[in-house]
């Protein structure tokens, strides 16, 4: 059984697409060519390159009093609002809330722009993974930004260190009641999720209040360890910095259960939470737990006995041997035969789908103004939100169902309500039309540059080559002869192949001929609009 043996197949465009689709967002032909030239190991090295953090989000909406304008005097257009006061200096609550919502929109659009511009790099895919792993919901954009910045800074780093930073992140302290956890009224919300969802997993119940990996008493004792951490109000100059109140901290030693070898967490004030996390991570199960989550995110939702034995366990051992640095294990996984055997088994998330039908199909970002760029990205955010994947607004603390809810997993993205929406969004982004999201209409022009796509396909004058090449790029595998015939019927309904050959050749000979260009554009747009609605386009 090959499993984690290094991939020995041919490094070609098909395998490059598979790796890039799973590890980044929006795979263009140029990115595929670059990956093929780099080779498998060169591509993996580039995916994990150390890069500087991106510039923070900008104010992109114009100042004014109309419905489409915003009054935010603390920030100039085109500059970041991140360093401005979290509560804008405005006379009424209505104006304050309007400015805050504008900053929210900026953050969400900026997040999609970072995915759009990620290239051959895994950081944004991992940032989204950790964002779904450490769910933390808030409505203030400053707290949201500093939370996601912590995740992005540590996305390729150490799992244990990230848990420590997230534990006292103001966003998380508020979301899971850590800021209300004090000696006089211990709150177990965060300690429970720290164990069940963030580090080790619950495991099967083996007795009353006793699970495979921890007990209910561990939840209680760990809550005491975590007492005393507070968050200041948004009007405070240190609103985004957590602080420790020794007065509100439960003093004395805390004893954990037999699941942690009856370990004692000694009194250690503001560093006690670090001692607790170190103790949790002494359990080997932490490495298996996070490796399963990464496997579901990047490879397949089906974890059989063999996968657990020959994939999860050896990769978890690599994680432990590297003191919970995750990159060595991921590099081993992505270079393996096993990774390249698991193709076409994952339904695209709404975010992956949006970039498949935009960036992968050569839709350029509008870049004449910051406002146009952010407005475009915001529509992608709203569309993904409408398809049940809303960044910063998970349905619950467990994250998106596609990555944890058995037996559906990825199938959660598709049901009788969501599938028609997915297909309609894909079609409209190709043909143009009205996207209706939350009863609001967004008029979208025909964004996909179909003539440019065809121009990059050698011998596209042959309709069979054209359609098969489109299928390879869009689906990453060959389609059947029957599917080719059906798509030709859309391209040239009822006509022989040479009709396309003649028309497209005439266009290539005279691309300034507007009538020819319009006719060829419409034919290509019609066939690509159908292809983005095919089931093959919905998986990767």
C-alpha R_g of the chain = 26
Of 444, 474, 496, the one marking the end of a domain is: 444
Compute the average pLDDT of residues 466-482: 96
Residues 427 and 372 in one domain: yes
Under 8 Å between Cβ of 374 and 116? no
- End-to-end Cα distance, the chain: 24
Phi, psi dihedrals of residue 205, rounded to the nearest 5°: -70, 130
Q: What is the mean pLDDT of residues 52-64?
A: 94
Q: What φ, ψ does residue 69 adopt, rounded to 5°? A: -120, 165
Q: Do 381 and 429 lie in a common domain?
A: yes
Helix (H, G, I), strand (E, B) or coil at 304: coil
**pTM exceeds cut of 0.85:** yes
Helix (H, G, I), strand (E, B) or coil at 185: strand
For the cut 90, the answer to whether the pLDDT of residue 439 exceeds it is no
Work out the mean pLDDT of the chain and round it to a whole number.
Answer: 96
Q: What percent of the chain lies above the pLDDT cut of 70?
A: 100
Would you say residue 254 lies in a domain? no
Q: Are residues 472 and 527 in the same domain?
A: yes
Domain that holds residue 386: 350-354+364-444
What pLDDT does 64 receive? 80
pLDDT band at 310 (very low <50, low <70, confident <90, very high): very high
Are residue 434 and residue 462 in the same domain, yes or no? no
| Least confident stretch, 169-178, 282-291, 436-445, 464-473 | 436-445
Residue 370 maps to a domain: yes
Residue 66, pLDDT > 90, answer: no
Q: What is the pLDDT of residue 2?
A: 62
Question: How confident is the model over 18-50, as pLDDT tens digits?
Answer: 999 999 999 999 999 999 999 999 999 999 999
Q: Check whether residue 400 and residue 479 sit in a common domain.
A: no
Peptide bond connecting 407 to the previous residue in cis, omega within 30 degrees of 0: yes
Shared domain for 424 and 493, answered yes or no, is: no
pLDDT of residue 37: 98
pLDDT for 464 equals 97
Domains in the chain, number: 2
The proportion of the chain whose per-residue pLDDT surpasses 90, expressed as a percent, equals 94
435 and 372 inside one domain: yes
For the chain, helix, strand, coil in percent to 5 are 55, 5, 40
Of 384, 414, 444, which one is at a domain's C-terminal end?
A: 444
Does the residue 378 lie in any domain?
Answer: yes
DSSP H helices, 24-140, are 29-47, 93-116, 123-133
* pLDDT beyond 90 at 524: yes
State mean pLDDT over 104-123.
97
* Of 399, 419, 444, the domain-final residue: 444
Asked whether residue 409 is domain-assigned, the answer is: yes
pLDDT band at 196 (very low <50, low <70, confident <90, very high): very high
CA-to-CA separations, 383 to 429, 443, 455, in angstroms, rounded: 11, 13, 29
Judgement on whether residues 432 and 476 belong to the same structural domain of the protein: no
Q: Do residues 391 and 108 touch, judged by C-beta distance below 8 A? A: yes
Task: Write out pLDDT tens, residues 331-364.
Answer: 999 999 999 999 999 999 999 999 999 999 999 9
Same domain, 371 and 416: yes
- DSSP conformational letter for 511: T
Q: For 234-273, what is each residue's pLDDT tens digit? A: 999 899 999 999 999 999 999 999 999 999 999 999 999 9
Specify whether 486 is located in the same domain as 460: yes
- Would residue 403 count as lying in a domain? yes
CA distance 104 to 109: 9
- 41 closest CA partner among 3, 2, 7: 7
Same domain assignment for residues 412 and 472: no
Whether 500 is covered by a domain: the verdict is yes
Read off the pLDDT band of 1 (50, 70, 90). Answer: low
Predicted confidence band of residue 438 (pLDDT cuts 50, 70, 90): confident
* pLDDT at 317 exceeding the cut of 80: yes
Q: Are 523 and 499 members of one domain? A: yes
Transcribe 407-461 into DSSP letters. Answer: TTGGGGG-STTHHHHHHHHHHHHHH-EEEEETTEEEEE---S-HHHHHHTSTTTT
């Amino acid at each position: 059984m090959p499993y984690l043996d290094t991939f020995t197949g041919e490094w070609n465009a098909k395998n490059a697409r598979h790796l890039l689709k799973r590890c980044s967002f929006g795979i263009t032909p140029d990115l595929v060519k670059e990956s093929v030239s780099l080779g498998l190991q060169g591509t993996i090295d580039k995916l994990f390159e150390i890069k500087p953090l991106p510039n923070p989000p900008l104010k992109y909406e114009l100042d004014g009093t109309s419905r489409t304008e915003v009054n935010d005097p603390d920030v100039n257009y085109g500059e970041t609002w991140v360093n401005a006061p979290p509560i804008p200096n405005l006379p009424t609550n209505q104006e304050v809330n309007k400015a805050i919502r504008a900053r929210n929109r900026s953050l969400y659009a900026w997040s999609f722009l970072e995915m759009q511009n990620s290239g051959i790099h895994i950081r944004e895919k991992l940032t989204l993974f950790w964002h779904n792993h450490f769910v933390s919901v808030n409505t203030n954009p400053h707290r949201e930004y500093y939370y996601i910045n912590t995740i992005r800074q540590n996305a390729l780093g150490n799992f244990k260190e990230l848990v420590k930073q997230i534990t006292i992140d103001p966003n998380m302290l508020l979301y899971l009641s850590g800021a209300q956890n004090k000696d006089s009224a211990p709150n177990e919300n965060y300690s429970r999720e720290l164990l069940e969802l963030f580090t080790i997993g619950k495991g099967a119940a083996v007795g009353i209040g006793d699970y495979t990996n921890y007990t209910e008493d561990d939840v209680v004792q760990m809550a005491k360890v975590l007492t005393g951490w507070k968050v200041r109000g948004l009007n405070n100059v240190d609103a985004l910095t957590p602080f420790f109140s020794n007065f509100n901290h439960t003093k004395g030693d805390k004893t954990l259960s037999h699941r942690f070898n009856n370990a004692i967490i000694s009194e250690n004030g503001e560093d006690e939470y670090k001692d607790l996390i170190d103790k949790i991570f002494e359990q080997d199960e932490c490495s298996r737990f996070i490796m399963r989550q990464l496997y579901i995110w990047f490879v397949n939702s089906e974890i059989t006995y063999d996968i657990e034995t020959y994939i999860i366990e050896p990769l978890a051992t690599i994680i432990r041997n590297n003191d919970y640095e995750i990159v060595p294990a991921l590099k081993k996984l992505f270079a393996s035969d096993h990774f390249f055997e698991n193709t076409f088994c994952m339904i695209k998330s709404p975010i992956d789908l949006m970039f498949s039908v935009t960036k992968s199909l050569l839709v350029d970002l509008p870049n004449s103004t910051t406002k146009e760029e952010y407005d475009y990205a915001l529509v992608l955010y709203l569309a993904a939100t409408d398809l049940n994947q809303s960044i910063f607004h998970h349905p619950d603390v467990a994250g998106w169902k596609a990555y944890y809810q058995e037996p559906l997993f990825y199938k959660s993205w598709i049901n009788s309500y969501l599938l028609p929406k997915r297909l309609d969004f894909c079609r409209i982004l190709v043909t143009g039309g009205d996207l209706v999201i939350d009863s609001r209409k967004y008029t979208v022009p025909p964004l996909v540059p179909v003539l440019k796509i065809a121009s990059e396909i050698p011998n596209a004058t042959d309709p069979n080559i054209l359609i098969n090449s489109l299928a390879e790029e869009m689906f990453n595998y060959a389609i059947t002869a029957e599917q080719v015939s059906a798509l030709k019927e859309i391209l040239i309904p009822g006509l022989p192949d040479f009709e396309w050959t003649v028309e497209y050749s005439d266009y290539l000979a005279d691309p300034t001929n507007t009538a020819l260009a319009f006719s060829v554009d419409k034919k290509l747009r019609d066939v690509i609009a159908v292809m983005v609605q095919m089931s093959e386009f919905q998986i990767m």
